[in-house]
Amino acid sequence: MAKKLREKIDGLLREGKKKNQLWQSLKGSENHKELVFLLNDLPTLENRQTFLLLNLPLAAMLVIMTGLKLFATIGIGQVNLYFFLALVVPIINIYVLKKILRFQRTGYQYLFVLSFLSVFQPENHRFIEISLLGIMLFLSGFLYLRMFPKKELIKLPPKAADD
């Protein structure tokens, strides 16, 4: 059900509908908490179009970092426990990439936090990784703040929170 609702909201936002309009039209028929989360997780059409040219390089950098981690994983040379543990980071990167390409708010949050934590990993202290992480950290934070401004967030009414 959440997937259908997400697709419905995403389609209506792509048509140019405002979040407040969607909230007013859907609040009677849907779970309020889920509806508010989904409305706040997707940007408006205007924000999507405005920040598309910053989102694509961010996604490209994430693909590069994922590729570097996959090459390091392949460099292990044998399939053992370390090989599978090394696959965790690329799998998480692919999940975050999916969210970034779909302009989902949680993707930018995850990427910001994971990029920040990655700066402290010794394996990421080469010039290319540290520079990509710095740019990704900046872009994910910037896009998060600009694509999802606080004034556009839908607040859950107090009585709806009890439902």
Q: How far apart are CA 41 and CA 25, in angstroms?
A: 18
What pLDDT is stored for residue 161 in this prediction? 53
Which burial class, exposed, middle or buried, applies to 141 when counting CB atoms under 10 A from its CB (0-12, 13-18, 19+)? middle
Report residue 101's pLDDT band, with 50, 70 and 90 as the boundaries.
very high
Task: Give the mean pLDDT of 44-66.
Answer: 95
Q: What is the mean pLDDT of residues 72-82?
A: 86
Q: What is the pLDDT of residues 56-68, one digit of tens each?
A: 999 999 999 999 9
Three-class DSSP category at 55: helix
pLDDT of amino acid 160: 54
pLDDT of amino acid 135 = 96
Angle at 89 between CA 98 and CA 105, to 5 degrees: 35
Sign of the alpha-carbon dihedral angle for 125, 130, 134, 137: negative
DSSP code for 151: G
pTM of the model: 0.88
Query: 60-69, 102-111, 134-143, 151-160 — which is least confidently predicted?
Result: 151-160
6 burial level (CB within 10 Å; 0-12, 13-18, 19+): middle
Q: pLDDT tens-digit profile of 102-122?
A: 999 999 999 999 999 999 999
